[in-house]
Structures are given as C-alpha cells and as structure tokens.
Structure 1
Amino acid sequence: MRLPAAVWQARARAHRERADAMTAGWRARRATGERDEVEDFLFTYYSYRPSLLRRWHPGAGVVLKDAAGAPQAGWRWYRTDANGDVRVDVAGWLAHRGDAIDFIAGLLARTLARPPRLGCSCLHEWAMVYGLDQAQQRHTRLPLRLGHAETDRVVERSHIVCSHYDAFRFFTPAARPRNALQPTRAAQPELEQPGCLHANMDLYKWAMKLGPIVPGELLLDTFALARELRDLDMQASPYDVRQFGLEPVAVETVAGRREFAERQQAFADRANTLRRRMLDAIGRARAVVGGMGQAVSTPMSAPTM
C-alpha cells in the first residue's frame, strides 16, 4: 500500500493529537508531583514513555510517499528509498525480534482460541492485600472500602481462580495457597484467557513490543482499552476509589459479581478484536518477507523482551 503525503501526514497528525489527549493527565501530574493511583499504573507498571505513544507507525508493507523529511525517516527500523519514499524495514525488524514476535503471536493465538472464563470476580486485587495492614499495601494512599478485617473475610470465603502470572506474583504469601491455580511464567501460554482483565490490559504491552509493524492506530486502541480495564480493575478491587469518580463494583455481593462478569465479557469481546488485528499485523509483516506459509511457533518460555 502506498500512501500519498497528504494522507499519511493527516493520519500521523491525528495520531499525535489522540496520544496527547490520552496522556495529558499523566504529563500534568508529572509536572506538579501529584498522583492518581488509578491511571498512573498505565505509566509506571508498563513504564512506556508518552513520547512512544505519540509515534505513528504505518505498519508493515505500507509505503509513505515523499517522506524523506518525515520523522520516520530518521527512526530505527525504517528505510528510505532513492525516490524519497519511506517504509518499515520489516526484514530487519523480524530478524532482530523474531523470537519475541513468535512468542507474542503464539500467546495471542492461543488466548484467542479459548473461551473467556468469567468467574474470577477480580479477586486478585483482594488477594494482593490479604493479611496486610495499610502501611504494607501497594496503594498506601487508598483506603480499603470494607476495612482490613472484612476484606480478609471476603478472601477467605471466596473461590479464587486467578490465571494471570503477573497478577498472581503480587499475591501476599498467605493468599497464594488459596488460588486454585499456581501460574508460572513458563505456563503463561497455557493459562492466558480472554476473560482476564490483566491479560487484556497487556495487549498494550504486546503492541509496544511489536514496534513498527503495528499501525499507530492499533497501538492507541490497545492503550484506550487498557485505560478502561484499569478503571474496572480498581472499581472491583477492595480499594475505595470514589475520589477518582469511580463507583465501586461490590464483588463481595451477588449483584456485584454479576455486574463484573457482564462487563468482563464485553471487554473480552473487544480484546479479542484487538488480538485479531495484532495477529493480522504480524501476518502482514511475515508476508512482506515471504513468510506467509510459515507456521507460528510458540517457545515453551518467553524470550527476554
């Protein structure tokens, strides 16, 4: 696909404006030293700079006409033709990051193939504070909505089925044996499922790691989903986040668990749409270098990324 200058410049400009709107709160707080315990997670846990979100990539196989003076011409993993057209150096990128791309593709495909499991009720957040006092919590500035004793009782009378390693690893030592699963990093491809809020938030991380072969619009769509998922994650947590304009989803009640599962299903559907788009982007990159017929390989463990 060849994009005329007027087309790619308009898309790049719209991308920057959307990215700036999404990161405005974080950038303002960085200047004043303020904190938002809900949204800041997207910039501290994932730790990608807003400047990376502003970068518009056209994706694999797209040629930017008359772009010799464009920012992309100076970025790594781009090449400029003799006539001034610019494109992603897909062959170079795949050669450099092939193992990581294989892992991500395999993880996305396996997760997409599974039905969502909707019975976790966001209890991973409760298990992260089980048996702790406020000084030991990850979010020391947020009060517990039900207090410490009742929060612990919710954990003790619940069936916890967290499948996500990067949530499970923050469980308190007392909470870990209460989980029906014992996720490990090596088992991640076998356990990830589309009903998991954190697996769906991680689509933003995977899009970042896929770098220039992912169109900028798709990257921002994964970030937008992660922002909404973070809100629900904290609404259904034991923390009181009403100061941020978020009403609790009381998963300690039947009605709250039902509401959480309904929203969980809607997010699973949206996340799977993004998974398909990411797999399509990987497929286009492989096709550019003649790899359309290659099978997706999935390493037994994640490569260093």
Structure 2
Amino acid sequence: MTAPSPERARAGVPLVVLPAADATDRADRHLAHAARYTEPFRARRSAGIKHPVEDFLFTYYALSPGRLERWHPGAGSVLTGPAALERAVWKDHRTLDAAERERLGLTPDEPAVTADVEGFLARRSATVAFAARLLASTASRPGQFGCFGLHEWAMVYRQGADDRRHEQLPLRLGAEGTDAVVEGHRLRCTHIDAFRFFTPEATGRNELTPTRERQPDLEQPGCLHATMDLYKWAFSLLPLMPSELVLTALDLASDVREVDMRASPYDLTAHGLAPIQIETAAGKAEYVAAQRGFADRGADLRRLLLAELDRWAGTA
C-alpha cells in the first residue's frame, strides 16, 4: 500500500462539471435521506430524551447532524452557480483557475468550485494512508463468526450498576447471569474500539490484545464494529468521498448497531427491540446469520470505498 501523492492526485482526477439540475437533485435526495437520522435525533435532543441505540450514530461518531446533511459530490466534480458561491469558502474546497475554466468551457466570471484534492491529501495524508491500509487489509482476510457479540457483555463484566456505560438500562439476566455468560464463553474480540471498553476483569479473558497499532493486522470483516466503522472512514474522507457512499455506510451502521444492542446483555424491550439471546444455541445462530449478512454488505461497501480512494489518492 503506497502513500497518497498530492501531485498524482491533482493530475489524476479529471474535472467534470455537474449540470446544475443534477447537482440540485442529488443534494435534495441526500438531505431527505439524511433527515431520517438527523430529525429524530434533534427532536430527542430538544426534548432531553436519550435513545441507547440510535443516539450512538451521533454521540460516538463525530459527524454532526448539520455536517451529515451537507451534500458533497466527491473528488473531481465541479459545481457552478450559487452552489459554487456557497462552497468557495468551505474547508477543503478551491475555486478553479483560469486554465481549468477554459478547458471546461466555463466563462472567466462563472463561479466554479471543486473539492481540493491536493490540499486535502497534503493535510490528511496520514489519515488517508491509514484508512486505505486498514480497509484493504480487512478485505484481504476471511471473516470470523464466533464472537457472538460478547464484547458488550465484557464491557459490564463484574461491574456495579453505577459504573455501566448504559446505567439506565436493566441487564436482561441480571449482574450474576451476565457474568456467568462471560465466564462460560471464549472472548475473541479483534477490534480495538470495542476491546478498550472492556472492564479490567474482562480484558485478561480476551484471546487477543488489540491495539491501535495492530488494528490493520487484526481487523476482520465479520466484526460488527469494523463494519460500523466503514461509516467513520467514509465521512472522514469528505468532501472527497461522495456523500451517497457516506449515507450507504450510515444505513449499514444503523442496522448493525441495532443488532449489536439486541445481542447485548441489556433489556431493550421498552424501546421495542427484542433480544437476540446469544447465551442460547438459537440466539447464537440468529446472531451469526445477521453477522454474515452484514459482512457481505460491508465487503461491497469496502470495495467501493477503496475504489474511490484509489481514484483520487492512488493507494492501490
């Protein structure tokens, strides 16, 4: 995996002017799609209501509702007219120079703005290189489907109620029953951002010791958290990554999050979510079936993200 080259990126991404009607249509469809997530979150926040499943998409991941609603066509796309005037002052955007305008048949005074590929790669080269390496290495190995979502159980193992991450939620099997499930299973978590929340008593029970440095070597496509994190990597590469891919990643992350919490030790029936009882054979089978489906969807999305990265960053 090679580091991205700003020179190669500037020369290698052809500029294409988006017709104003197409840009407006895509932006409108994007906003309507994003609103499925942003409007309920804003309404809950205004009412002081927390949702233990859905809020995660905004409280754990760093993309705000406003930034999610902002549409980006992706690297190489040129916007003109009012859309260009608005974006001229946006971070990681640039106004086309005279030679570029002439090549594209634009008049000298016509507003024209595109994502600043060269500047973005110069500023975010480490992030781009890490994302490309992580996505490619994850795609190169088979999924593991024997963890049964026990990372959430390990996060509350031998903890008092006041210390739990979701202290407002009851444990479906109680504290002792939850601890017994952990003690009766092998912990095989491969994901650093799940493992780092394990209780001290659970950490030593895990078969691996994930670290940030080892993440590209341990990440595997069966992991629900690795699949959810495709959303993080997609939005981390805005505005070069098309917003349509970001929302595809968010849809997947939302579906995964629901299963992740249904398989957790928490009782979410008050929120309309039936448990996946991973302590039983039937529950394990249900979990693995969902896990395999997410892995397939994640593989397709991972390929699209890698193709985009290679198109403008030359990471292949």
Provide the alpha-carbon RMSD of the alignment.
1.4
Is residue 285 from structure 1 mapped to residue 300 from structure 2 by the alignment? no
CA drift at 1:172: 0.6
Q: Normalised by the size of structure 1, how large is the TM-score? A: 0.91
SS in 2 for 1:11: helix
Aligned to 1:3: 18
Task: Please tell me whether Structure 1 or Structure 2 has the larger radius of gyration of its CA atoms.
Answer: 2
Aligned to 1:59: 74
CA drift at 1:69: 4.6
Aligned to 2:159: 132
SS in 2 for 1:79: strand
Is residue 174 from structure 1 mapped to residue 174 from structure 2 by the alignment? no
Residues 239-254 of structure 1: matches in 2 within 5 Å? 239-254=266-281
SS in 1 for 2:88: helix
Give, in whole Å, the separation in 2 of the partners of 1:65 and 1:196.
42
Residues 58-207 of structure 1: matches in 2 within 5 Å? 58-67=73-82, 69-81=84-96, 82=108, 83-207=110-234
Is residue 19 from structure 1 mapped to residue 27 from structure 2 by the alignment? no
Is contact 2:20–2:79 with CA below 8 Å preserved after alignment?
yes
CA drift at 1:211: 1.6
Is contact 1:66–1:86 with CA below 8 Å preserved after alignment?
no
Aligned to 2:99: none
Q: Normalised by the size of structure 2, how large is the TM-score? A: 0.88
Give, in whole Å, the separation in 1 of the partners of 2:86 and 2:223.
37
Aligned to 2:248: 221
What is the percent sequence identity of the aligned residues?
51
Give, in whole Å, the separation in 2 of the partners of 1:137 and 1:90.
43
Give, in whole Å, the separation in 1 of the partners of 2:76 and 2:57.
30
SS in 1 for 2:167: coil
CA drift at 1:76: 1.5
Is residue 237 from structure 1 mapped to residue 252 from structure 2 by the alignment? no
Relative distance call for 1:64 and 1:138 in structure 2 (3 A) is same
Is contact 1:118–1:264 with CA below 8 Å preserved after alignment?
yes
Give, in whole Å, the separation in 2 of the partners of 1:123 and 1:41.
18
Is contact 1:195–1:264 with CA below 8 Å preserved after alignment?
yes
Is contact 2:85–2:111 with CA below 8 Å preserved after alignment?
no
Deviations 1:183-213 (A, max 9, x none): 1111000000111011111111111211211
Structure 1 gap segments, 5+ residues each: 287-291, 297-305
Give, in whole Å, the separation in 1 of the partners of 2:245 and 2:68.
11
Is contact 1:61–1:284 with CA below 8 Å preserved after alignment?
no
Give, in whole Å, the separation in 1 of the partners of 2:152 and 2:190.
13
Is residue 264 from structure 1 mapped to residue 279 from structure 2 by the alignment? no
CA drift at 1:146: 0.7
Is contact 1:67–1:86 with CA below 8 Å preserved after alignment?
no
SS in 2 for 1:87: strand
Is residue 32 from structure 1 mapped to residue 47 from structure 2 by the alignment? yes
Give, in whole Å, the separation in 1 of the partners of 2:72 and 2:62.
20
